[in-house]
Chain A
Amino acid sequence: MRRAMVASMLAVAIAATAGACGGGASQKSTNGSKEIEVLYKTSPTWPYMDRVLKQAKTQYEAAHKGVTIKLTAVQGENEVYYTKLALLNRSADSAPDVYLHDTFQVNADVAAGKLAPLDDYLKSWADWGSQYPDSVKQAAKGPDGKIYGVPISTDTRGLWYNKDVFAKAGIQVPWQPKTWADVLTAARAIKQKVPDAIPFNIYSTKPLGETATMQGFEMLLYGTPGGTLYDDTQKKWVASSKGITDSLSFINTIYRENLGPKQADAFNPKLGDKVSGEWLPSGKLGIDLDGAWTSSAWKPTGTKPWPQWTEKIGWTPMPTQNGEAPGAVSMSGGWVMAMSSYAKDKKDSFDFISVVTNKENTLTYSVGSGDLAPRKDVAADPQYTAGNPAVKFWTDLASVTHYRPAYEVYPKVSAEVQKAMEAMTTGAKTPDAAAKEYADALVGVVGGPDKVTSGS
C-alpha cells in the first residue's frame, strides 16, 4: 500500500501540510530584499518562454535593485503544467507570484480567487492603451469584467500541407479546399498514390488534452452551420446538435478509412513534436490541421532547422463544412502573464509582468515560438515577419477566428469532448452513440439540465 497512494496521498499530504507548516519557498524577505517567484513551462522542444524570462529577469533586476526574480520552470507538456500550477496554487505559501497562464484556465482560477485583477496597474501602463487591440485585451477578462492577465501570445489555426506529397498525389498547389469533402478527397488521393505518407493529421485523443479539443474538434464544430459548444444568447451549453455529430463523423471517417495517423501515434502525447519535427519535413505527412506556430520548429533557431520549409510547405485556411460563409474557420487562444492574488508585492510583480510583455521581450517570444504577437508594435516590426512568409496569412485568419467559451466548467466540457473524439479514433463507438454520450455527460458536467440546450 505504501508505494501506493503515490498518486493521491502524496500531493494531498503536501497540500494539507504545506498550509500548516508554512513550507512555501516564496516571499522570503532576507535583509529587506524582495523576491518574486515566476512559474512557467518549458521543454526541450519549447524553450522560448525560458529565453524570454531570463532576458526579462536581467532587465528587471538591473532596474529594480533589491528585488530578485526567482524563475521556476516546469518541465513538460501543457497538461503537466496545469496540474503543477493548480497544486502549487492550493496554498498561499507555495503559490508563485507571477505565472504564465493558459487563457482557458483563467476563469476557473478567477472563480477560485487565485488571481489578482490588474486593472489598477494597467491604467498607469501606457502600453496597455496604445499597443493592445481591444479583441486581444479580452483574452483574460473575468466574468466580473476585470482583466486578469497581460497577453504574451495569441494564435490561429488552419491547415499545413506538404507540397512534395501533394505533387506525388497529383493534387494541384496552391491547394484551396472549399469544403470538408475537398479535404477528404485530397486525403484519399494521398492514401492511394503516396502509400508511405500519412494523409491527414488531426489531434483526437485524451493524452493530447486541450490540443485535441481545440485544434481538432472545435476547428470542425465551429465550421458547421451554427456549430458551437455554448449558446451565447441562451447562455447555455449545447448538448447535442447536428454539428457535433457531423464533426465526430468527420473524425470517424478519417480513422475508419485509415487517413489519419496510426493509432499508437494518435495516442502519443508528443504527437505534435513528431508532426513538426519528423513527419512534415520528411514528407511522411500530407495535411496537418494545426496551429500557426508549427513552422517555428523549422527556423534556424528552432528545434528542427529546415530552411527549405518555405518552399516545401503550404498553408491554407480550414474550410467550413460545406463552404458556408465566411468560407473558413479558425480558433484562437493564447497565454497571458497573470498575477497571483497571494502575491505580497503586487506592484513589483506587475512591474515584472510589464517588463516581460514589453516590446523587446514580446518580440523575442513571438519570433522564437511562432505564436502570433498580441502587440501592435511587435506585429509591425520587420523582424517579426522576416523569414516567415506565412505569418501574414496566420495573422489575417483573425478575421474568421472563434474563441472558446472559456467559462469555469470549460476544462471539464473539454474533457468530455476528448472522450467522444477518442471513441472515434479507436472506433469504439459510432458517431451517434458518442454524441449521445456527450449529451448525457454534459448535463452532469455543467451543473444540471437547466444549463444545457440542444442546438440546430
Chain B
Amino acid sequence: MTVSTVTPPRLAGSPGRGEPRRRARTTLRRLLPLVPALILLVVFMAGPILWSVYIAFTNETLTGSASVNSRFVGVDNFVKMFGDEDFRNSLLLTFVFVVGSAVVGQNTLGLIIALLQRGRGRVVRSVVNGVVIAAWVVPEVVAAACWFSFLSEEGTLNEVLGAIGLSQDWLFTAPMIAIILANVWRGTAFSMLVYSAALSDVPGELLEAAAVDGATTWRRLVHVTLPLIRRSILSNLMLITLQTLASFGLIYALTGGGPGTASQTTPLYMYEQAFRYFEIGYGSAMALVMLVIGAVFSLVYLRLIKVDG
C-alpha cells in the first residue's frame, strides 16, 4: 500500500564506465532466470492484449458469417463509435461517475476520515479502520447486493423513509447517485489508508509552530498539511481514477446500466456490445479508447507529481 513515493527502479551496483562488454554479460546473466517468466507473460498477457488491439480494427463478431470471414475495416469502428449517441452518453456518464465517486467522493471522504483519526486513541482508530476497511474487503458483487437491498423498492431505506412519505425506487429514480454512493462507500477505505500513511509523515512540530503563530485549524490544513502530502494526493487520485474508470462489476450488479441507458457507463456499454450483441470488434475498439483515456489521465497525474517533486 505504499504509493506515496514513486522512485525509478535502480539497478544495484554502479556500472563501470570502461567495461560495457562485461556489463552486457552481467545483465544477460541476470535476465536469464527471468526468461521463462517473460515468455509466459508474453504468451498470456501481451498476446491477448495485442490480439484485442488487432480485432478493434476488424469487424470480428462472436458468431455469424463475420466471425469466419472477419476482415480489416480500418478505423470504421471508431468512426461508428463517435457517431453513436449511446457511446457518447456512456462517456459522459463515466466522467460523472469518476468525478463523483472517485475524485470527489472517495478522495475527500478518505482524507476527512484520515484527518479526523489523527491523534485519536487506539480503540477509536481500530474501530473506524475496521468498519471502513470492511466495506473494501467485501467482494464487489456482495457490496452491490448490500446496496441493492438497501436502495431497492422494498429495501431498508424505503422502510425508514416510508414513515415520512418519501419512499421511492431509488435505483430507478436516481441510478447514477445510487452507483456513485455505492462506489464511494466501497472505495473510501483505499484513500483513507493512503492518507493515513501520508499524514503520519507530517511532522507534528510544523503544525505546532503554525498553531503558535496563530494559524486556525483550517489554515493549518490548507497551508501546512495539504502541501506536505500533495504527492500522496496525486498518486491516490491517479490510482482511484483508473480503478473507477474501469469499474464494471458493481454497476452491473446494482443497476445493470439501466434503467434504459441511465447508468450505462462505458465499460457496461462495451460489455453489452461485445457479449450481448456479439460485436467483439466494436467492443474491443471501445476498450482501446478507454485505455487511451486512462493513459492520458495517468500521464497528466504523473506529470503533476513530477513537477511537484
Contacts and interface: CB of A to CB of B under 8 A. Distances in A.
A423 B48 CA distance: 37
A263 B248 CA distance: 24
Contact of A108 (B51, B64, B153, B275): B64
A22 interface: no
A11 B51 contact: no
A7 B274 contact: yes
A8 B172 contact: no
Interface stretch (B96-104, B105-113, B221-229, B239-247): B239-247
B234 interface: no
A269 B51 contact: no
A206 B255 CA distance: 13
A5 B287 contact: yes
B259 A112 contact: no
B162 to A, nearest CB: 16
A207 interface: yes
B276 A83 contact: yes
A426 B63 contact: no
Contacts of A113: 68
Given A109-B63, A262-B169, A415 B47 contact: no
Interface in B255-273: 256, 258-260, 267-268, 270-271
B246 A8 contact: no
Nearest to B51: A16
A386 interface: no
Contacts of A422: 260
A272 to B, nearest CB: 16
B171 A11 contact: no
Nearest to B271: A7
B47 A86 contact: no
B284 interface: yes
Given A4-B246, A17-B48, A112 B270 contact: no
Nearest to B65: A111
A41 interface: no
Contacts of A262: 169
A205 B257 CA distance: 13
A84 to B, nearest CB: 9
B242 to A, nearest CB: 5
A83 B63 contact: no
B274 A264 contact: no
B167 interface: no
Contact of A207 (B256, B277, B284): B256
Contact of A411 (B43, B171, B246, B277): B277
B44 interface: yes
A13 B48 CA distance: 5
Contacts of B284: 8, 12
Given A6-B248, A7-B275, A263 B259 contact: yes
A354 to B, nearest CB: 26
A1 B63 contact: no
Contacts of B256: 207, 269
Identify whether the interface residues of B are mostly helix, strand, loop, or mixed.
helix
A348 to B, nearest CB: 25
A59 to B, nearest CB: 31
B270 A8 contact: yes
Given A79-B276, A83-B276, A112-B63, A12 B52 contact: yes
Nearest to A86: B62
Contact of B64 (A9, A111, A206, A415): A111
A79 B245 CA distance: 26
Contacts of B55: 12
B32 interface: no
B291 to A, nearest CB: 8
A7 B68 contact: no
A282 to B, nearest CB: 15
Interface string A202-228: 000111010000000000000000000
A73 interface: no
Nearest to B274: A8
A349 interface: no
B278 interface: yes
B117 interface: no
B209 to A, nearest CB: 41
A86 B62 CA distance: 6
A16 B47 contact: yes
Contacts of B169: 262-264
A112 B275 contact: no
Contacts of A7: 248, 267-268, 270-271, 274-275, 283, 287
Given A8-B270, A90-B62, A411-B277, A17 B43 contact: yes
B62 A87 contact: yes
A235 interface: no
Q: Which of B67, B243, B256 has the most CB of A within 10 A?
A: B67
Contacts of A4: 242-243, 245-246, 248, 267
B49 interface: yes
Contacts of A423: 260
A3 interface: yes
Nearest to A21: B43
A16 B284 CA distance: 13
A428 interface: yes
**Residue from the set A264, A408, A412 with the largest chain B CB neighbour count within 10 Å:** A264
B172 A264 contact: yes
B246 A412 contact: no
Residue of B43, B243, B259, B284 with most partner-chain A CB within 10 A: B259
Contacts of A206: 258, 260
Contacts of B259: 205, 263-264, 267, 426
A11 B65 contact: no
A11 B51 CA distance: 12
A2 to B, nearest CB: 8
Contacts of B140: 3
A112 B65 contact: yes
Nearest to A11: B275
Nearest to B272: A206
24 contacts: A3-B243, A3-B249, A4-B248, A7-B267, A7-B270, A8-B52, A8-B280, A9-B48, A9-B287, A13-B48, A16-B51, A83-B276, A87-B62, A89-B63, A111-B64, A111-B68, A206-B260, A207-B258, A209-B276, A264-B259, A267-B172, A269-B256, A409-B64, A422-B260
Interface of B: 43-44, 47-49, 51-52, 55, 62-65, 67-68, 140, 153, 169, 171-172, 242-243, 245-249, 256, 258-260, 267-268, 270-271, 274-278, 280, 283-284, 286-287, 290-291, 294
Shortest beta-carbon contacts, A-B, top 9:
A4-B246, A13-B48, A111-B65, A7-B271, A264-B172, A108-B64, A86-B62, A16-B48, A264-B169
Given A7-B248, A8-B52, A16-B48, 13 more contacts: A1-B294, A7-B271, A8-B284, A11-B275, A17-B47, A86-B63, A111-B63, A112-B63, A205-B260, A263-B259, A267-B260, A408-B64, A408-B65
